[in-house]
Amino acid sequence: MECLYFSASRCRSCTQMTVPYARQLQAKVEDCQNLLSGFDSLKFLPAQASNEQGFRNKAKMVISGTTENPTIGILDTEGHGIDLRNCGVIAPTLRSLLPVIERFIKELKLIPYDVPKRKGELKHVILTLSDTGAVMVRWVLRTKKHFVALRDSLPQFLEQLPHRSVVSVNFLPEHKAVLEGEEEIILTRRTTLEFGLNGVPMHLRPQGFFQTNTEIAAALYRQARQWINDVDPESVWDLYSGVGGFALHCAGENRTVYGIETSSEAVAAAQTSVQSLELTDAHFVAQDATEFALNAGWAPDALIVNPPRRGISAELSAWLNDSDIQHVIYSSCNAKSLARDLERLGNYTPQLARVMDMFPQTDHYEVIVKLERKAA
């Protein structure tokens, strides 16, 4: 893949842009194999490749410049805008909406936020694309100064968006390097962006998390579902469940499934999926994963963990190691913390691993591992 922004040193986010994709993927497999080399029992399945461009279903665009000439992209080291509206890793559908965003900025006279001066109103526009073709557009404002203009323009704005799209306004009054604030007002009647990965409906609320590469997320869920169905447990926990991707894919008749996630927004989205699938024994709880496990009073037949980059806690590792759970699937976005956690889980044998290339053009990747409890 070639990128004029990278060549001109305007954006260096994709650190592997000049490396041929096949070599990128092989390097990730070798890195993962090296980090997990202490486990002789572990066999690697063929890596799951991604499209090398247009794969990002989410565009987190900083708005800078002026109302008459806004930049849509990122900031340089001095806080000035760099326009990246033709970024090649962003899905084409999202790129096609950026001129619409620019037009509404101009027509509504929205004032871009000036980071060095700490003045202005419109900070970011966050776009997410569903595999159904619908999008979610989130306007991030400093105050409510432009809120009425955005609310009143909604009918015209929706005419420019795909069917079943969602529009919201988020408020970030503080001057700090984060994307969004706590307060969010959804302008559309529809409150969730629906995905249909592998025929499983999933719902994303504005402040929820979803994997940024839809194709690889679908493959990741299929792999976990296959491993779960191979052992056919009666009960499954999905810790750090997000909007319920793993849990919903593994739910089924005669199987109890629990998804545990700290985000109440994500839990509400997962519960919407449960209702649409008419599942009678799938449950989602807004709670810390470690706290839930240590206080549940029972353990499932199989466990799926998909923690953040820091991995699972020492307390959760110890509880899991001493439990009678037979089957564990660990999905990780950081093979270094994964290696540490597998060392802690000495009562389990890592059997299979598969690198899933969630983040082409970078050093990052996802890896999913299947573990089995050692015989007593």
Residues marked active site are found at 333
Instruction: For residue 205, give both structure tokens.
Output: 């609320």
CA angle 95-199-325, nearest 5°?
110
Largest CA distance in the chain: 71
Amino acid, single-letter form, for residue 322: D
Kindly list the distances between the CA atom of residue 155 and the CA atoms of 10, 72, 126, in Å, as whole numbers in the listed order. Answer: 36, 23, 19
Rounded Cα gap, residues 283 and 159, in angstroms? 37
Among candidate residues 332, 276, 325, the one with its CA nearest the CA of residue 303: 325
Are the beta carbons of 353 and 367 closer than 8 angstroms? yes
Helix axes 335-344, 21-35, angle to 10 degrees: 20
